[in-house]
Structure 1
Amino acid sequence: MHATDVRGRGRIHPNGIGPHDTGFCAGGQSERARRKKGKAGEACLPRPLRSWGLGRQASPAFLFPPLNNPLRQTTGHVFMIAAPSPSCRRIAPVRFSFSSLALVVVLAVGTPAQAQGPSYEERSLGAATAPVQVIEYSSLLCSHCATFHKDILPQIKKEYIDTGKVRWVFRDHSLGSPLALGAAMITRCAPMDTYYPLMGTLFANQRAWASAPNPMEALQSYAALAGMDKDAVAACLDSESVFKGIRDGEAEAEAAGVDSTPSFLINGKPVIVGAQSVEQFRAVLDPLLAAKK
């Protein structure tokens, strides 16, 4: 069942539209029923997130927000809520460490690689000397980000990036979801020439991998298309540099007032929030470009 909010849009779900969308836990009990019995807890989390210990580390209030808010998910493992703008939001701050995330290496792809792992690198499209710089903050689990990358960004790339007018910088914002963070780490470790295609592929197939029985194994299969074998994925997820680079970027975003995805900083200032139309981007970018002439 694909629930919709009062505006008719699909609610945001960190695992796509899949078997967990029903709001039922193991044994067929609804999360509402379990809450009444005082049983709400990690049993309703998707298995990969339970493996990371989030049910033990996070508070029940975070894992299971009040169900009477019409904009919040009714399932027991939400990390985002539907927003009035076409963007994804998280419901509360979450704390998790590199060491807790690194458990996924053992659980999903085997023993972590012992060699020095990859380091965090900036990823962008367009000329470094472009007069306007756009920083995009996205989550690979955000459906509005997927819409933006599928329907809007290609035209922006054609008009502004490929013509040398805009440099487009990609930053990750997991919105408190370890799965989104793991996916972001894998894309960051992809070879430079396959980063953008891999990100586009993950957005295009968001529901498939996010709702898979083991999302990390599904991500590994997509990473293979980008030239990353099992050891490369393990080394990536074991890289504290990549983890820290993404988390530092998230901290910078929050300091700038970014609390949803996709969000766009233009020449260092937050200007556009949500998967807005090409026309709305033109209305912002064209005057800035004209002023640079």
Structure 2
Amino acid sequence: MSPSTSAKTGKPGPKKPAAGKPSAAKARTTRSRRLAAAGAVVALLVAVVAAGIAIAKGSGGDDRKPSASSSADPQQALYNQVERTTSRRAEDDPMAVGKPDAPVVMVEYADYQCSFCGKFTRDSQPELIKKYVDTGVLRIEFRNFPIFGEPSVRAARASWAAGQQGRFWQFHDEVYAKTRKGDALAEDKLVDLARTAGVRDLDRFRSDMNGSAAADAVKKDQEQGYGIGVSSTPSFLVGGRPVAGAQPMEEFEAAIAQAKAAAEAARAKAGK
């Protein structure tokens, strides 16, 4: 992923606005609140870093140690807050698969030129869907996080456009069927991929891909990733727990088991 941005807090409060400029003061206050909110999330992940399981800065090698630890994790409150901040659980989200009320949500931040993202899609995603999504345990929510230049941005917008016609996952899997970079993600090539993925209205697809709504949607996903300190692709949050890279299946299984146990414990406690 690309270099992260962080909110800076702790600066002295804004000076008293000059008379006759209430709108400027209001704008500064709104911005300060947004920065403070982003800073709070960043602080959560800083604490996760201190616990030794932060999102790694590499590009996704398989030699990292598993991030899952014991079920009675002292950082559980942090994971819960991160999960609430990042998951959307929207019923009509075309870029999500799984029940909105599934006990565990996996949020994936990925780039379509990222070879490790493709590896995850081909090797782990099908098994995760069969074992956990289809059984109601897991929901996967995809976030476009293009960091490798214009081809990545164009592909991200195209995936959003495919989603507008209910073919996001088909298009997503088609792009990741093999490593595609540069000219392989030119607009006409993306239209061809959309056709293969079953997108019916290709004129609408092309229009949506180049529209402001697609740009805004991709920007929203990017800002969420940057806001929590994501710095490489693919990166995942499993019930709020960071997992970096295209890890072996056992890594995801361990993280899902822990997140599920934590969700069940919270549910039992709430029912008392």
TM-score bucket of the superposed structures, by smaller chain = 0.5 to 0.7
1:205 and 1:236 map into 2 onto residues whose CA distance is 24
| Residue 286 (structure 1) aligns with | 257
**Deviation at 1:84?**
6.1
**Deviation at 1:171?**
0.6
Query: Is 1:124 equivalent to 2:124 in the alignment?
Result: no
Q: Provide closer, same or farther for how the CA distance between residues 250 and 270 of structure 1 changes in structure 2, counting only shifts above 3 A.
A: farther
Identify the match of residue 250 of structure 1 among 214, 222, 234.
222
**Deviation at 1:270?**
5.0
**Deviation at 1:292?**
2.8
| Residue 148 (structure 1) aligns with | 120
Long gaps (5+) in structure 2: 2-56, 63-91, 265-272
Higher relative contact order (CA 8 A, sep 6+): 2
1:138·1:263 contact (CA, 8 Å) conserved in 2? yes
2:118·2:176 contact (CA, 8 Å) conserved in 1? yes
Letter in 2 for 1:215: A
Taking the TM superposition and a 5 Å limit, the aligned residue runs for 1:268-279 are: 269-279=240-250
| Length-normalised TM-score, structure 2 | 0.59
| Length-normalised TM-score, structure 1 | 0.55
Query: Is 1:199 equivalent to 2:172 in the alignment?
Result: yes
| Residue 156 (structure 2) aligns with | 184
2:60·2:116 contact (CA, 8 Å) conserved in 1? no
Query: Is 1:161 equivalent to 2:136 in the alignment?
Result: no
Letter in 2 for 1:281: F
**Deviation at 1:228?**
4.4
2:60·2:233 contact (CA, 8 Å) conserved in 1? no
1:182 and 1:84 map into 2 onto residues whose CA distance is 21
**Deviation at 1:134?**
0.9
**Deviation at 1:245?**
1.2
2:99·2:136 contact (CA, 8 Å) conserved in 1? yes
**Deviation at 1:237?**
2.6
Long gaps (5+) in structure 1: 1-11, 13-81, 88-119
- 3-state DSSP of counterpart to 2:176: helix
Q: Provide closer, same or farther for how the CA distance between residues 193 and 236 of structure 1 changes in structure 2, counting only shifts above 3 A.
A: closer
- 3-state DSSP of counterpart to 2:124: helix
- 3-state DSSP of counterpart to 1:204: coil
| Residue 78 (structure 2) aligns with | none
**Deviation at 1:230?**
4.3
- 3-state DSSP of counterpart to 1:141: coil
Q: Provide closer, same or farther for how the CA distance between residues 245 and 147 of structure 1 changes in structure 2, counting only shifts above 3 A.
A: same
2:187 and 2:59 map into 1 onto residues whose CA distance is 31
| Residue 62 (structure 1) aligns with | none
| Residue 261 (structure 1) aligns with | 233
Deviations 1:196-217 (A, max 9, x none): 111101101333x7444x7221
**Deviation at 1:156?**
1.0
1:122 and 1:263 map into 2 onto residues whose CA distance is 20
- 3-state DSSP of counterpart to 2:242: strand
| Residue 222 (structure 1) aligns with | 193
- 3-state DSSP of counterpart to 1:185: helix
1:221 and 1:176 map into 2 onto residues whose CA distance is 22
Letter in 2 for 1:83: G
1:289 and 1:187 map into 2 onto residues whose CA distance is 30
Deviations 1:3-42 (A, max 9, x none): xxxxxxxxx9xxxxxxxxxxxxxxxxxxxxxxxxxxxxxx
1:183 and 1:144 map into 2 onto residues whose CA distance is 16
1:84 and 1:206 map into 2 onto residues whose CA distance is 15
Identify the match of residue 239 of structure 1 among 194, 199, 211.
211
Q: Provide closer, same or farther for how the CA distance between residues 282 and 220 of structure 1 changes in structure 2, counting only shifts above 3 A.
A: same
**Deviation at 1:233?**
3.1
Letter in 2 for 1:262: P
2:207 and 2:232 map into 1 onto residues whose CA distance is 29
| Residue 86 (structure 1) aligns with | 61
2:236 and 2:58 map into 1 onto residues whose CA distance is 16
1:84 and 1:245 map into 2 onto residues whose CA distance is 24
| Residue 136 (structure 1) aligns with | 108
